[in-house]
Structure 1
């Protein structure tokens, strides 16, 4: 519920950031404490954060998600139930990488060998019992012929290169039981729809949070100043680390934690397909079997006439900086390996994300640098019962997911509801 012509004022609770964590926190507060006035402050021009859906084929057709797209751990994912409650459709088609899903060439010997090597790598990560944390590249077996594939899959998982990411942190990752499902109308549509009952101010970038007062916090925005009894901060770690928001008194431990829990990068390019019958529905393929600089490709998600290309880590950053034409050329070159030299004539660029350059986000999802995994708890620790923090990076086990973000937002709201 956008508030027009907002110029500040007073409120019981201000929630900063209208992504999955902020929307979850605000809705939970409305449920637990209807006596409190709540406002959601969002720097950008839309609700959803890193969940963003587009509808190039019409509002009644399937959506394409430029951000998060899968309900990971769907049976225990809070957004699954929320989607059904708000009247959206949960699609239970098995994800291509799961049992019952479809991967191109999944039965050939190389595909089985690569899959086994990747599984062995993640088992070593899960079983790691070293006293000192290490980076993920230390978990590679010497001379593994599939090390480049492991690098690629590791980048898809963390958004960062293996030598930057913590073994202990990835070992703690647990999205919860259940398969991966999707929302037919889009994950971004889901988060935005759930946020509709919350009074929201768009285009209200917060520049300063003064929590020095004994009974109030002053939030400075480009649209005005707001006095609140309590604040929940849900902005990304890259925004915090860059000190885009100044805290007074300073919170150096938050800035340090955020800087060591940076956002990795995952970008998508959607390719329009001129002859959809050329491709199987909902089928996954890797662009290159022997290079870490590869995309993953989802052919015709929901049967739509598109191919979703997925790039991560350094490759994603390089392609983002070069622009959508470079993303397209790279994808066509990789798809040619399977579909022949003329495939580019049947494809055209439709839409792409560029999360590193999103001014109020700066990336996709957090990973921990070595020895930083415990800083997720530091990042999420409230201050003085009035200043709370939430977001996927605050989740010990469900970081990088929209439901991890939601859970931390709901937890912050519960804690605030008890103390205020």
Structure 2
């Protein structure tokens, strides 16, 4: 494809929305695996995905929030997990942190986990963010999907009044998401409102009000959106999904070979890791007996 082909900017924007990176930073094999497995039936949930997932947990589940893990070490009985609230000892554990956190130094890990950390470094997080604007005006038709000027490398994607609610959801991906991480929240909202003014007319500005936003790239314990394999590195997902000494198991969207970047892909990886851990514990009991 010619460097000045008219659709290059549009393709770059679509890659930014789907993977959070530009085309030269993504594995074609990885993308095709996702495309082949995707049903495109990504239904929205009125109460939000977070509420759906949290309500699916058994009522007796012990959940501890604001308890960051700082180190995981091998222990004679399994693992010693250091947290801000003290050490936890466990025979097995499932690690689900983002690839940015795993490849970084936020959690100290045994040296022989270097291959897993290397795999995580080949699955960097892309940049995607969402902005929400209050938009309670008949001008905005419910359940309308709009895309800004495809010739603009900073084009945003808009979902108008989801479920009839008086908001506009603005999706930023790749280049447009970097506006927030590099220039700040005000610049990101200005970008979105400028593009809505291009679509609806300048008078629309008085009908919009910044409401809420994500900020995934600036959260230390996340560091971006979902993972995107670098060119030639799609196999890193399978390596990252392998267990370590049948003590530490890995889950999260980045470990799913074809449903990465999705909540259902992360859920499936968690079920896979849990089944692996249960099987390992059963084997250890049999040996001990």
TM over 0.5: yes
- Aligned equivalent of 2:42: 180
Q: Distance in 2 between matches of 1:312 and 1:202?
A: 29
**How much does 1:240 deviate?**
0.5
Q: In 1, are the aligned partners of 2:179 and 2:187 still within 8 Å (CA)?
A: no
Q: Find out whether 1:215 has 2:77 as its counterpart.
A: yes
Q: Distance in 2 between matches of 1:249 and 1:168?
A: 30
Q: Deviation per CA, 1:109-156: give whole Å up to 9, x if none.
A: xxxxxxxxxxxxxxxxxxxxxxxxxxxxxxx46653222111101111
- Aligned equivalent of 1:258: 120
Q: Deviation per CA, 1:299-334: give whole Å up to 9, x if none.
A: 111111111111011321222343332122111111
| 1:160-175 correspondence runs (5 A) | 160-174=21-35, 175=37
| 1:126-165 correspondence runs (5 A) | 140=1, 144-165=5-26
- Aligned equivalent of 1:72: none
Q: Distance in 2 between matches of 1:228 and 1:350?
A: 43
Q: In 1, are the aligned partners of 2:99 and 2:227 still within 8 Å (CA)?
A: yes
Q: In 2, are the aligned partners of 1:229 and 1:386 still within 8 Å (CA)?
A: yes
CA, structure 1 residues 214+265, in 2 after alignment: closer, same or farther (shift >3 Å)? same
- Aligned equivalent of 2:184: 323
Higher helix share: 2
Of 65, 82, 95, 1:202 maps to: 65
Q: In 2, are the aligned partners of 1:210 and 1:248 still within 8 Å (CA)?
A: yes
- Aligned equivalent of 1:88: none
**How much does 1:233 deviate?**
0.4
Of 209, 234, 239, 1:348 maps to: 209
- Aligned equivalent of 2:286: none
- Aligned equivalent of 2:287: none
Q: Distance in 2 between matches of 1:143 and 1:357?
A: 33
CA, structure 1 residues 330+258, in 2 after alignment: closer, same or farther (shift >3 Å)? same
TM-score (norm 1): 0.64
Of 346, 363, 367, 2:228 maps to: 367
Of 245, 266, 278, 2:107 maps to: 245
Q: Find out whether 1:284 has 2:151 as its counterpart.
A: no
| 1:84-95 correspondence runs (5 A) | none
- Aligned equivalent of 2:241: 380
Q: Which runs of 4+ in 1 moved over 4 A?
A: 140-143
**How much does 1:214 deviate?**
4.0
Q: Distance in 2 between matches of 1:345 and 1:178?
A: 35
Q: Distance in 1 between matches of 2:228 and 2:119?
A: 12
Q: Secondary structure at the match of 2:97?
A: coil
Q: In 1, are the aligned partners of 2:103 and 2:120 still within 8 Å (CA)?
A: yes
- Aligned equivalent of 2:87: 225
Gaps of 5+ in 2: 282-289
**How much does 1:296 deviate?**
0.4
CA, structure 1 residues 302+187, in 2 after alignment: closer, same or farther (shift >3 Å)? same
CA, structure 1 residues 206+163, in 2 after alignment: closer, same or farther (shift >3 Å)? same
Q: Distance in 1 between matches of 2:184 and 2:258?
A: 34
Q: In 1, are the aligned partners of 2:179 and 2:188 still within 8 Å (CA)?
A: no
Q: Secondary structure at the match of 1:345?
A: helix
Q: Secondary structure at the match of 1:366?
A: coil
Q: Distance in 2 between matches of 1:229 and 1:207?
A: 18
Q: How many residues align?
A: 279
Q: Distance in 2 between matches of 1:324 and 1:195?
A: 34
Q: Distance in 1 between matches of 2:182 and 2:2?
A: 33
Root mean square deviation of aligned Cα: 1.5
Gaps of 5+ in 1: 1-139
